[in-house]
Structure 1
């Protein structure tokens, strides 16, 4: 009677719940249709939000699912989404009756699927499976221990039931097992407990259900069979392997390997079994038994298999088996179990012929999937003291396979590289790793093989297809990294010691292969001569031939823009490396480059051979040749003027055009051209060094002329951002390269740059002033005193401008400007020019120092705070002593000391943040500096006035002052961190 009464009560509860469920908003549901108009879609969205926050309105969705009230797929999906939200975020708030309702809703819906006319769409089944999984992880350990038995009892072997059961298992795997999903420590504990409980209570039953499904549907329903194989593969990593790796299961999986529609999934499932962590001896036995069966069944006869998709999966399986054996071997060697290690090594060796077949397969995906095993096998060989003849043969076979697979195929599109081409480039990178590993196992073998292939190919390049020629040169190029000593040690001036590499380079540059009419060969030629630049130091007689290749139709004047662009960069590198050997050809080179260095004005309509970015490299190369030549200073100056005069002339013409131009698009084009002219001049200056300064080369006047030419553009109101940016960069270069002759240009430039500027302009201008200050120090003191307050006021005005509350860009610009301002003050104070600030008048000094204190305390920006404390300690050092600035000692006690306490006490001052700790470290330095300058007076002030005002306990005050007086500043820094950590608890 009791049981009957309880059941009636539950039914009554459920009836009450369903009847009290809020009716669905039919109008809102119309908006779920993808073709509905925007207003309906908006209403549906609002309705979803309403159901999410409602305590019981979701029950309408539960009722709709349980009773099948709607046939529209989008409405059903919507109902599951509402349910999903309740379970994810509101489940603890629901009553026991509502929990019961969720469970019964899902089971009722599941039962209905078995008898419905049409199966649900896949996206609905997947969403339902997710909801089941969410209920499972919430209730399995407490209220629903028979979760799987209940589902299995409903699903049975009904195909629709099985489909949903398998989808639910995969959804549970995603929630509980999937390692790609990051879980909190609490979720991880819960997931571990769920797996432990499942192992105890139901895993054998689940495994049995999988066997029955596979057995029942293997011939009649490939989709369900594949789903089931996926489930087995997912679960095998954490369940007892003996439940799966047994005769009946493995035999069934192997039988699936012979069924076309099942074998790819069967392959993946076997791979998951192989990948399961286990004892190395047991793993070897498992792999070997599986291999034996596969071999007997004929799966190792690769050449007879035409299905490349299956072979790609099979290749992964073989790769997994090989890598598992290598892991077992490594573990056994570490354990000192040499007997089993030797047996495992023999097992690895036995897989090599199959591995090689897959590696050389014409399909790159199949080859790529086996590379991991190849790499690990070579790693094993590297650790063996002596290689057998067979192992040496294997190494050679891998190497020949790599050489073959590096080759481009006919379909590779060099002019318009797409996804296929990108995949081949990545594949080549993996092959290169194999080549590097071969070099570690047997460098002599690699060098000999490359030499053989290279010589045979390059000697007959005219009669061979491009892909063979390209790969031969590519192999020579790859030796540079595979054999690290190649760059220097392999090139010797002694003819008797000429190496194989030296001979290959000689053949490369003398063979005429640079004339080959294919971009891939041309590029490989230039890449290789630049990689082996050290060769030309030994045999400089070949430099003219290579220079000509760079300068003519093979390089900078090639028909392909791609070749011209890459060659520009490589030419620059070649010149930088070997300019000492080019003195005899400098003027010839410069003459040949002349037309490439022209600043092509936008109106001539002719496409330039080189892009502006490519031209930068050529200008730099020209600069390097001139500066490092053996010419006297007058000749260097003449050559540099010849190089830069056309830029200056063009600049003046284009600037005049810009000033009179009305069309905005045309203005932008002209400004861009002007900017590049400045950029080209900047780039030539990179050639100078401490050994070859601008002054020593007699080029100062040329660059001063550039300054005179470029600076007037700062007063141009059109496109000012672009123009200022380029000229600012040029000024940075000139401050580095020129001496005090640059100084007269700075005031005018500064005046223009500070006109009509934005926060970003100011922020980018300040580093220029910092650079001048740091380099010229007292020489620029008068200029700094003059510009100091206008610059500071411009910054204050910019920082005080109101901005939109949510304007993140404006907020970031202000933060960066504030940092730049403090960096400026730090540079001035740190360059020993305290008079620059000291001569600004009492009112201005006070205002500036207040901004520093504000920066240290009020803004939650640890980078700026650190800078502010550095400035404060510097000012205390300069002005805080007995003979310092009048009134500064008073100011120190009233404002600087409190700042050192107020800043770290702020809630935003995060002592677990590395930048903030650096700011605190500078705060400690400031307090140490105050103590150093004021002595016992400082201690007395802290003991008797300031710290008591903060209600600090007397014993802590004593402790603080003792730490401050320690001679080792590190002791006080550490103490201060602890002091504020305690204060903030």
Structure 2
């Protein structure tokens, strides 16, 4: 680069002459292949210190980079990912410079690209990258870009300056490469589809463009992309009348070209795209019809409805197609069409025929095919399950349009199939039962409490259910049929209230080889859950069979771990449901309390016996893997006993059923496991859960066991152990209150000190798990103090000695102020309010009034002053509300003395303006506490009223 030229750019020479020379030379550099190197060298070596010279060099480099890079990539055979990354970079440059520095972006790119295949490829990739950055609604753009409207401004400018030129370039590309380069043609079709949503439709939806797209529909390698492009054109928002005309004209051309002859098309991939196109056309017409009806334009609405009707035969062909993807893609149109029919007051014969045809198609498509793998379901099976859900939505919509038609059709199919189940393939039998099952939601008035509401529907359903349970179809040797049978009898459990004589047959099916003893683990597992539901719903009708059922269940409830490596019939989770069902049968039976007790003992005694044996084995076991297996088994034993207790209620308590002693024996059996030093976490977790249940079920009878249990659970514990133990103490405290006061006073400080010790343990700075455990423990600690204070047992805290009380209250203040945890802060202010209420009066705890003014009042001001106190957070707002309650409570307990302290001492010490002090104190003295709370929220004086920010501690 000539030194004189560069120096001529700097200040201090003839500016006019220098400017002319620089501009002339800049134009020379733009077309030079290597002049940019001189500028780069000058910048790299720092040859010039003048800012104007540097800027000039950078401009040269910028220009060379823009064009040389594009030329290089558009000529060299780069890999796809390189071209995509280059396109993305150019798109980002476009966004930053198009509106200001590079208004000729597209013209420059087009001039370099020409019709060179690699140049065209990069040009099209750049356009798709720009679409992704500026237009695509599926991509989340930054709030800043969205806020400033940059994307909108870019699109508006493009419409004004270059869109017609871009469209023309697309046409030329399509015309040039449609027979010679299918990849470029498909890329271009994708670009047209992407941009058509926001450009003038007339530029695309015209004779020459549409004719070319239709010609592409006949080319095997182009037609799928052409289909997608036509769909984007159809989906463009526009006037409903114009949209109808556009769709109809396109349909006419497609039909004339033979595309509606679905049966002659063998390419399922193309048909899947074509099905999407037809779906889009149909849904667009429905949208137009809806808009026209709302506008009251009934003439055009009627014409649009006729257009919709004309598409139904094609829609049905696609819906019933053997390929599920093709069928799935048209379901949206089917659904919307049925929605249209639902809104019509009277259906024509043709419309009724269409509804029936859709219904028959749905019934056919619900059917499994031979390739479905029931034992090892993979991706294909999961897709079919999702497809079935979409078909169910159609069935539900049919029920809304014509419930009688649906019921009649299901009856016809169900009766014909189930009466001949022995000679039919499994998929036909399964779908017949499935249709009966689906009626439960499709016709909700026929289900549940309204099972017999409508005589016609109830009779039809009752007949089908009667046939189902009496036909012997539960013996069908296929898991899908078996599961559908059990699902359906449980869904229609209210049927058995009407005809309870069929309950024994169904119970036997549950209990034998068809259900809980089926060869398939999948069937056994699902049946366990369904059996539990069936028993819960109909136990009143099972009294005569209870002991027989319990005897048949006995071998399914064995606890011992598999010694021989053979898996049990039921998993542990499955057994939970069976234990619960057994408990429900016993508790709700009509037997006297003595018999209930005997049955419950028979159910739980094997658990207790096995528990003792397994615990002894665990204590002597050296192998860690074996220890874990035994502990897991012990934990499940406790869980099974807990699950049986769920059967009790306020009407049928443990005591009324005579079962107290059985569960007390369980406690005596299980609690020794707490002293086991092996697998502590697993064992303690199960026993804690059992204790929670027993506190509810046994009430005060559980209290003698709590001190020993607590002592063991507090030994060698971690933060998580403490955190999970505290809710148990809270439950006891809240339920029994003063009854447990002596125990609480005894355990209070050991528990608190254990918490303090755990919270003071050092942890690595980046150990998020440890930090979270501490946060949760801290919350549990404050929740414990809240429970004690809120249960009216202030003596529990008050009797811990002055030093301990002071330490505890300081931790509460610290929790309210110092830790950025609004949940804990809220709890702390609740505790402070309660303590002020208990001890803050004239005859309260000695010295507490001074403590209140010195520490609690400042905490109420300092907490909201913390930068972490975020009032946009809902929990923080609740914390502020409780802070307000604390100040209000102080005022209520101390009266004018509190106001005087705030007015004359505390608030002036914070340099609060006198008018703000007056305003604050007036709000505080309002009788309605809501007034003060709202004052704090609206005035937000914590963050705005003080002229000095005070730091606490």
- TM-score in terms of structure 1 length: 0.88
Distance of 1:916 and 1:173 partners within structure 2: 41
Contact 1:602 1:669 in 2 (8 A): no
Q: C-alpha offsets along residues 36-73 of structure 1, whole Å, 9 cap, x if unaligned? A: 99999999999999999999999999999999999999
The change in CA–CA distance for 1:112 and 1:394 in structure 2 (over 3 A counts) is: closer
The change in CA–CA distance for 1:607 and 1:116 in structure 2 (over 3 A counts) is: closer
Q: Let me know the Cα RMSD of the aligned residues.
A: 8.4
Structure 1, unaligned runs of 5 or more:
1-23, 90-110
Q: C-alpha offsets along residues 595-654 of structure 1, whole Å, 9 cap, x if unaligned? A: 001103242433200000000000000000000000000000000000000000000000
Contact 2:446 2:452 in 1 (8 A): no
Q: C-alpha offsets along residues 805-857 of structure 1, whole Å, 9 cap, x if unaligned? A: 11100000000000000000000111111111111111111111111111101
Mean Cα deviation higher: 811-820 or 143-152: 143-152
Superposition deviation, residue 408 in structure 1: 0.2
Please give the secondary structure, in 1, of the residue aligned with 2:937.
Answer: helix
The change in CA–CA distance for 1:443 and 1:983 in structure 2 (over 3 A counts) is: farther
The change in CA–CA distance for 1:150 and 1:590 in structure 2 (over 3 A counts) is: same
Distance of 1:348 and 1:302 partners within structure 2: 18
Contact 1:30 1:40 in 2 (8 A): no
Distance of 2:121 and 2:932 partners within structure 1: 69
How do residues 406-445 of structure 1 correspond to structure 2 at under 5 angstroms? 406-445=366-405
Number of equivalent positions: 937
Superposition deviation, residue 897 in structure 1: 0.6
Distance of 2:674 and 2:329 partners within structure 1: 59
Mean Cα deviation higher: 172-181 or 199-208: 172-181
Superposition deviation, residue 253 in structure 1: 0.3
Tell me the residue number matched to 1:391: 351
Q: C-alpha offsets along residues 716-764 of structure 1, whole Å, 9 cap, x if unaligned? A: 0000000000000000000011121100000000000000000000000
Contact 1:616 1:679 in 2 (8 A): yes
Q: C-alpha offsets along residues 272-321 of structure 1, whole Å, 9 cap, x if unaligned? A: 00000101111010000000000000000000000000000000000000
Distance of 2:257 and 2:83 partners within structure 1: 38
Distance of 1:326 and 1:770 partners within structure 2: 59
Please give the secondary structure, in 1, of the residue aligned with 2:9.
Answer: coil
The change in CA–CA distance for 1:114 and 1:440 in structure 2 (over 3 A counts) is: same
Distance of 1:41 and 1:839 partners within structure 2: 93
Superposition deviation, residue 878 in structure 1: 0.7
Contact 2:860 2:883 in 1 (8 A): yes
Superposition deviation, residue 499 in structure 1: 1.2
Contact 1:659 1:716 in 2 (8 A): yes
Q: C-alpha offsets along residues 118-156 of structure 1, whole Å, 9 cap, x if unaligned? A: 611111111111111111111111111111111111111
Q: C-alpha offsets along residues 368-423 of structure 1, whole Å, 9 cap, x if unaligned? A: 00000001111111111111111111111100000000000000000000000000
The change in CA–CA distance for 1:426 and 1:960 in structure 2 (over 3 A counts) is: same
Superposition deviation, residue 438 in structure 1: 0.7
| Match for residue 774 of structure 2 among 814, 818, 830 | 814
Tell me the residue number matched to 1:21: none
Distance of 1:87 and 1:948 partners within structure 2: 66
Distance of 2:85 and 2:703 partners within structure 1: 71
Superposition deviation, residue 352 in structure 1: 0.5
Q: C-alpha offsets along residues 565-599 of structure 1, whole Å, 9 cap, x if unaligned? A: 00000000000000000000000000000000110
Please give the secondary structure, in 1, of the residue aligned with 2:685.
Answer: helix
Please give the secondary structure, in 2, of the residue aligned with 1:416.
Answer: coil
Distance of 2:471 and 2:871 partners within structure 1: 67
The change in CA–CA distance for 1:489 and 1:614 in structure 2 (over 3 A counts) is: closer
Contact 1:682 1:730 in 2 (8 A): yes
Distance of 2:498 and 2:818 partners within structure 1: 64
The change in CA–CA distance for 1:373 and 1:781 in structure 2 (over 3 A counts) is: same
The change in CA–CA distance for 1:168 and 1:84 in structure 2 (over 3 A counts) is: farther
Tell me the residue number matched to 2:41: 63
The change in CA–CA distance for 1:541 and 1:889 in structure 2 (over 3 A counts) is: same
Superposition deviation, residue 86 in structure 1: 15
Q: C-alpha offsets along residues 227-254 of structure 1, whole Å, 9 cap, x if unaligned? A: 1100000000000000000000000000
Alignment of 1:31 with 2:33, yes or no, is no
Contact 1:84 1:134 in 2 (8 A): no
Distance of 2:811 and 2:591 partners within structure 1: 55
The change in CA–CA distance for 1:299 and 1:547 in structure 2 (over 3 A counts) is: same
Distance of 1:29 and 1:656 partners within structure 2: 93
Distance of 2:270 and 2:14 partners within structure 1: 46
| Match for residue 749 of structure 2 among 789, 792, 795 | 789
Superposition deviation, residue 75 in structure 1: 31
The change in CA–CA distance for 1:71 and 1:505 in structure 2 (over 3 A counts) is: farther
Contact 1:490 1:502 in 2 (8 A): no
Alignment of 1:798 with 2:775, yes or no, is no
Please give the secondary structure, in 2, of the residue aligned with 1:883.
Answer: coil
Contact 1:905 1:980 in 2 (8 A): no
Superposition deviation, residue 492 in structure 1: 3.7
Contact 1:323 1:373 in 2 (8 A): yes
Contact 2:912 2:947 in 1 (8 A): no
Q: C-alpha offsets along residues 206-237 of structure 1, whole Å, 9 cap, x if unaligned? A: 10010111111111111111111000000000
Please give the secondary structure, in 1, of the residue aligned with 2:842.
Answer: coil
Distance of 1:762 and 1:427 partners within structure 2: 48
Mean Cα deviation higher: 484-493 or 280-289: 484-493
Contact 1:602 1:670 in 2 (8 A): no
Contact 2:832 2:886 in 1 (8 A): yes
Q: C-alpha offsets along residues 926-974 of structure 1, whole Å, 9 cap, x if unaligned? A: 1111111111111001100011011111111010000000011111001
Mean Cα deviation higher: 393-402 or 34-43: 34-43
Contact 2:562 2:568 in 1 (8 A): no
Contact 2:74 2:118 in 1 (8 A): no
Distance of 1:838 and 1:946 partners within structure 2: 28
- TM-score in terms of structure 2 length: 0.91
The change in CA–CA distance for 1:983 and 1:47 in structure 2 (over 3 A counts) is: farther
Distance of 2:717 and 2:705 partners within structure 1: 19
Tell me the residue number matched to 1:166: 124
Contact 2:9 2:19 in 1 (8 A): no
Please give the secondary structure, in 2, of the residue aligned with 1:911.
Answer: coil
Distance of 2:281 and 2:274 partners within structure 1: 11
Distance of 2:32 and 2:155 partners within structure 1: 34
Contact 2:474 2:481 in 1 (8 A): yes
Contact 1:772 1:780 in 2 (8 A): yes
The change in CA–CA distance for 1:154 and 1:748 in structure 2 (over 3 A counts) is: same
Please give the secondary structure, in 2, of the residue aligned with 1:71.
Answer: coil
Distance of 2:599 and 2:143 partners within structure 1: 70
Alignment of 1:238 with 2:198, yes or no, is yes
| Match for residue 96 of structure 2 among 138, 141, 147 | 138
Distance of 2:126 and 2:316 partners within structure 1: 41
Mean Cα deviation higher: 496-505 or 861-870: 496-505
Contact 1:509 1:542 in 2 (8 A): yes
Distance of 1:282 and 1:769 partners within structure 2: 72
Distance of 1:637 and 1:873 partners within structure 2: 47
Q: C-alpha offsets along residues 769-791 of structure 1, whole Å, 9 cap, x if unaligned? A: 00001111111000000000000
Tell me the residue number matched to 2:57: 79
Please give the secondary structure, in 2, of the residue aligned with 1:164.
Answer: helix
Tell me the residue number matched to 1:680: 640
Superposition deviation, residue 35 in structure 1: 56
The change in CA–CA distance for 1:71 and 1:419 in structure 2 (over 3 A counts) is: farther
Tell me the residue number matched to 2:148: none
Superposition deviation, residue 488 in structure 1: 3.6
Distance of 1:834 and 1:923 partners within structure 2: 21
Q: C-alpha offsets along residues 14-49 of structure 1, whole Å, 9 cap, x if unaligned? A: xxxxxxxxxx99999999999999999999999999
Please give the secondary structure, in 1, of the residue aligned with 2:881.
Answer: helix
Contact 1:80 1:131 in 2 (8 A): no
Contact 1:113 1:119 in 2 (8 A): no
Please give the secondary structure, in 2, of the residue aligned with 1:116.
Answer: helix
Q: C-alpha offsets along residues 909-932 of structure 1, whole Å, 9 cap, x if unaligned? A: 111211001000001001111111
Please give the secondary structure, in 2, of the residue aligned with 1:171.
Answer: helix
Contact 2:910 2:950 in 1 (8 A): no
